[in-house]
Structure 1
């Protein structure tokens, strides 16, 4: 039978008043307590991060697992180090090259209880940091199109029932079970579904996608400029205004209001889909000017966004940030996996 670790992320603060748990804090922060580009914790997660007591879905999932004979360990991680201690249980045997590698035949399985997509990303980010070898130590048995091995699969236990409806989280997009008993069944009896992962040169990862752009206090979109390039295709070189840019692995940012940005995002096709929304002035047959929104799209293995002026606000897996310099993402095909029924 399996050993199952039920991992929940805590919002506990350190003595200085900052976030002492890295990205474990309320779904999205780096080791300084700031977001991936210097912002604070994700707004809207205060209720879900208000206590370290196990939530009802976590207890229900633990009961369902125990009833099936699994040995269950419930962990509330308050720091990156505590997340890493859980992930160490997924390590494989020692390798001759000294690399830390996941155990492909291990009997320990991981369930991540998530109040937000940012919390799931926090765990995947630690998995990447644990198992991705330095370029100078790349082993011969690593896939040629990847920089890291197959990451250990995870089961996802959503803690917010509402996000399975209109406010669709990644678990809802992927059709993952939300009921604790169904999650337990997936862990013990399910199959693997391998998914693409986006890594970026800032050291983080993206599971769903990123959306760039901002609006004023009245909700009107603000113009900004950036060079956006997908492989060898330049969607915009930065000399024209943009209303939005979507970098999609899955479909969480496929549309903005009534505008379809991403046509067919697929989290398992080995490509990233990128779209920019450009306001274009056109003349009617009667000579009248009007503005229409032109959406340009491209698909590829990598994308870069280079701001041309100021800071560009964005959401990355629901975590707020501001882009002030060039950022590049690339696809790691099939690098992570979830347990499905």
Structure 2
């Protein structure tokens, strides 16, 4: 019997995942190879990673690695105009839980076995993303200031930086300087203007502690602004919007697993159903 294309997998294993958690990589291989025809790829660097994805043919791409590996694969598919028509899958493997927070927030199951089974038994689900005016993409969440915090869950599941990772960082935020996030909390209050679909949600006269923008499944992003409180805790300002523009003094922002900036203004636009991720049924 001839196997359908969905049963033929191109599994690309991130080199960092192999070095930091070889046992989880082995488990993922056992589960995937037991349920599908698999071409197992072990790239040594970003150029080889790109070549293997580009030459996948009809095979369904599966990334074994952390959030940076997932973002790199998305950047490659986007660059070749294949992101919307490709059912991408991921088995999260990383050195620390924080490096897997984007995948978790998107609904990928925790645990290597559960995630690998979802690759075999799950179904592609169309997800929104944010595209900014500098060529960057956001899958899980955008945060200002760039605090080092995990991404919130969007439903469907629970919620070392290395030199060679510069490929995906450059692809996702080309004009912005990308750097490691601070180890602790973010900086103090900021004065920012936040506009949602052309309407001002908060202006420069109101200091804010945090701005969070999260794409979802509805064609609009969830926007939350936390003003600085005086006395009692101030209620967050919330909106749902197709476009979000943030401007003000130089600010940095965290887009998924990367930190970019400083910039004085940036606009993010929702791209509804722009990509497919294989998730549990």
Seen in structure 2, the aligned counterparts of structure 1 residues 121 and 293 have a Cα distance that, compared at 3 Å, is same
CA distance in 2, matches of 1:192, 1:50: 24
Deviations 1:220-251 (A, max 9, x none): 851211211110221122232121111112xx
Structure 2 vs 1, CA of residues 332 and 225 (structure 1 numbering), >3 Å: closer, same or farther?
A: same
Matched residue of 1:169: which SS? helix
User: Whole-Å Cα distance in 2 between the matches of residues 83 and 160 of structure 1?
Assistant: 17
Instruction: Give yes or no for the alignment of 1:194 onto 2:126.
Output: yes
**Paired residue for 2:8, among 3, 9, 18?**
3
Find the counterpart in structure 1 of residue 275 from structure 2.
336
Task: Answer 1 or 2: higher relative contact order, Cα 8 Å, separation at least 6.
Answer: 2
Per-residue deviation, 1:182: 3.5
Q: 1:213 aligns with which of 124, 137, 145?
A: 145
Superposition deviation, residue 170 in structure 1: 3.1
> Is the contact made by 1:245 and 1:276 (CA closer than 8 Å) also made in structure 2?
yes
Aligned counterpart in structure 2 of residue 304 of structure 1, from 222, 245, 263: 245
Give me the TM-score of the superposition, normalised by structure 1: 0.61
Instruction: Kindly report the root-mean-square deviation, in angstroms, between the aligned alpha carbons of the 2 structures.
Output: 3.1
1:172 to 98, 104, 109: 104
Q: Shift in Å at residue 9 of structure 1?
A: 3.3
- After the TM superposition, which residues 114-133 of structure 1 pair with which residues of structure 2 at under 5 Å, given as runs? 114-115=65-66, 117-131=67-81
Residue pairs, 1:153-302, within 5 angstroms: 153-160=87-94, 163=97, 169-213=101-145, 222-249=188-215, 267-281=216-230, 290=231, 292-302=233-243
Instruction: Indicate if the aligned counterparts of 2:11 and 2:38 stay in contact, CA closer than 8 A.
Output: no
**Number of the residue aligned with 1:111:** 62
Give the drift of 1:51: 6.2
Alpha carbons of structure 1 residues 73 and 221: separation in structure 2 relative to 1, 3 Å: closer
Gaps of 5+ in 1: 11-48, 92-105, 133-148, 250-266, 282-289
Please say if 1:55 is aligned against 2:5: no
Q: Is the 8 A contact 1:125 1:204 kept in 2?
A: no
Deviation at 1:195, TM superposition (A): 0.9
Q: 1:293 to 1:53 in 2, by over 3 A?
A: closer
Length-normalised TM-score, structure 2: 0.73
Report which stretch shifted further, 325-334 or 153-162.
153-162
C-alpha distance in 1 between matches for 2:186 and 2:87? 41
